[in-house]
Amino acid sequence: MRLKIVQAGEPVLRQAARRLTREEILGDEVQRLIRDMKETMYDAPGVGLAAPQIGLSLQLAVIEDREDLLKDLPPQELVEKDRRPAPFHAIINPQITFMEDSNVVFYEGCLSVTGFSAVVPRARLIRVDYWDDKGEQRSVEASGWYARILQHEIDHLRGTLYIDRMLTRTFTSIDNWNRFWRGLPIGEASTSTG
173, 115 contact by CB (below 8 A): yes
Cα(41)–Cα(2) distance, integer angstroms: 9
The answer for residues whose C-beta is within 8 angstroms of residue 61's C-beta and 6 or more apart is 48, 49, 50, 51, 90, 91, 94, 153, 154, 156, 157
153 is catalytic: yes
Biggest CA–CA distance in the chain, Å, is 51
133, 153 contact by CB (below 8 A): no
Q: What would the DSSP string read from start to end of 87-102? A: EEEEEEEEEEEE--S-
Given 67, 136, 141, 153, which residue is catalytic?
Answer: 153
| Residue 113: strand, helix, or coil | coil
**Structure letter (DSSP) for residue 46:** -
Return the active site residues: 153
